[in-house]
Amino acid sequence: MDAEIIAVGSELLLGQIANTNAQYLSVQFAEMGINVFYHTVVGDNHKRLESALEIAESRSNLIVFTGGLGPTKDDLTKETIARHLGKKLVYDEPALHSIEEYFRKTGREMTENNRKQALIIDGSEVLPNDHGMAPGMVIKEKGITYMLLPGPPKEMQPMFTAYGFENLMKKMDKHERIESKVLRFFGIGESLLETKIEDLLDKQTNPTIAPLAADGEVTLRISAKHSSREKCEEMISESEKEILRRVGEFYYGADQTSLIKELVKELTVRKLSISAAESLTGGMFQEQLTSIPGAGKVFKGGIVSYTNEVKAEVLGVSEDTIKKFGVVSEECALEMAQNVRKQLGADVGISFTGVAGPDEQEGKPVGTVFVGIVLPDGQSVAKQLNLSGSRAQNRIRSVKYGCHYLLHQLKNTQ
């Protein structure tokens, strides 16, 4: 099957909500071996929806709609599709009974437009809504399968899992699945990584390898298609081994992990605590760290020392260091890391100081950053970064580099 997902709702076009339904369905379809070639978003307008439907029919044999099944006048998905297919709408009695029973139990008045939610396209297969009112439906006409699902994710996702998945699997001629694995790299640019694996990219068929870069990181998504999950995993593993043989020194984890998650994991395994002193990052490292479940086992606390006064009076950076080297310096970064580690009684100390932008500081250009690290044995190291980008990018990348450097130091320490 070649699928197109059409999300219906003007609120999506206005940016009031994100189209998470398309993301969810794309993941499900990939596992089922259904190709998703197009995502479309259209507002609550009959003519524009019909136009999107006609375009989808010209290029897809599975068209999935999310949204527009509710009780209001702007909920017009099933009306538009029924008219387009020359079908009438009829009441699904179990759905109508369920809606009536809901209003009876809650003691609320049931208005006539709520009955509208029980309407389905005549001849369609019903997908019960166990978490809401409007049922979903599936109808096949002239070789094209149309699936209509409700818009709220809390209704759509369980409906698809319980009923939509099985319905589509029965309609498929062959049951191939697509499995993927995402390899994550840091400290290497996208162009250099691609150069290292250029021959693998050139000859890829199955599995496929897709690079993607974001905020200083590079990922490679390896995807394999086969009827057997085990065979997919075997194919992915073979490609992964060859990739890591070439660029494994920059690899830090797979799939949904992140540098900060890997750092928490490493500290937890080693039973080490950490404290942080931040200047340009303004607490971003600590915010990211504490967003990870289990961070309380490793994180002692931190100090956001944004001004020179706080660096000196609270964090204890010596005035001589500030006068002689400045706060944007290796020496200041090391003192910040050493002092916060000592003050908070942590095993590891890390610090961030530098110029986020938009203006230079102490004669140093925007993007000059120093990361200080002190390990449990007292060994200390400072790393200088020369970043380019916006103020926000410089702060985000500083945190990522800090995680990267600290992970490297920990993994190379017995």
Q: Which residue stretches of the chain have pLDDT < 50?
A: none
- End position of a domain, from candidates 201, 233, 254: 254
- pLDDT (0 to 100) of residue 180: 86
Residues 36 and 153 in one domain: yes
- pLDDT (0 to 100) of residue 280: 97
Residues 198 and 264 in one domain: no
Q: How many Cα atoms are found within 13 Å in the side-chain-facing hemisphere of 376?
A: 12
- pLDDT (0 to 100) of residue 175: 67
Domain count along the chain: 3
Residues 112 and 159 in one domain: yes
Length of the chain, in residues? 414
Residues 248 and 266 in one domain: no
Residues 221 and 285 in one domain: no
Instruction: Tell me whether strands 348-354 and 274-278 are parallel, antiparallel or unpaired.
Output: parallel
Residues 405 and 362 in one domain: yes
Per the CB < 8 A criterion, the answer to whether 375 and 302 are in contact is no
Question: Looking at residue 239, which CATH number applies to its domain?
Answer: 3.30.70.2860
Residues 287 and 325 in one domain: yes
Pick from 376, 313, 317, 382: which is nearest to 346 by CA?
A: 376
Per the CB < 8 A criterion, the answer to whether 63 and 8 are in contact is no
Distances in Å between the Cα of 367 and the Cα atoms of 72, 132, 155, 304, 385 are 52, 51, 46, 19, 7
- pLDDT (0 to 100) of residue 59: 97
Could you report the per-residue pLDDT of 220-252, keeping only the tens digit for each?
Answer: 989 898 888 899 999 999 999 999 999 999 999
- pLDDT (0 to 100) of residue 412: 87
Domain of 193 in residue numbering reads as 178-254
Write down the pTM of the prediction: 0.71
- pLDDT (0 to 100) of residue 176: 74
- pLDDT (0 to 100) of residue 8: 96
Furthest-apart CA pair in the chain: how many Å? 84
Could you report the per-residue pLDDT of 133-189, keeping only the tens digit for each?
Answer: 999 999 999 999 999 999 999 999 999 999 998 899 888 866 677 788 999 999 998
Structure tokens at 322: 């500030």
Residues 249 and 263 in one domain: no
Taking residue 218's Cβ as centre, other Cβ atoms within 10 Å add up to: 22
Taking residue 74's Cβ as centre, other Cβ atoms within 10 Å add up to: 14
Residues 14 and 86 in one domain: yes
- pLDDT (0 to 100) of residue 174: 65
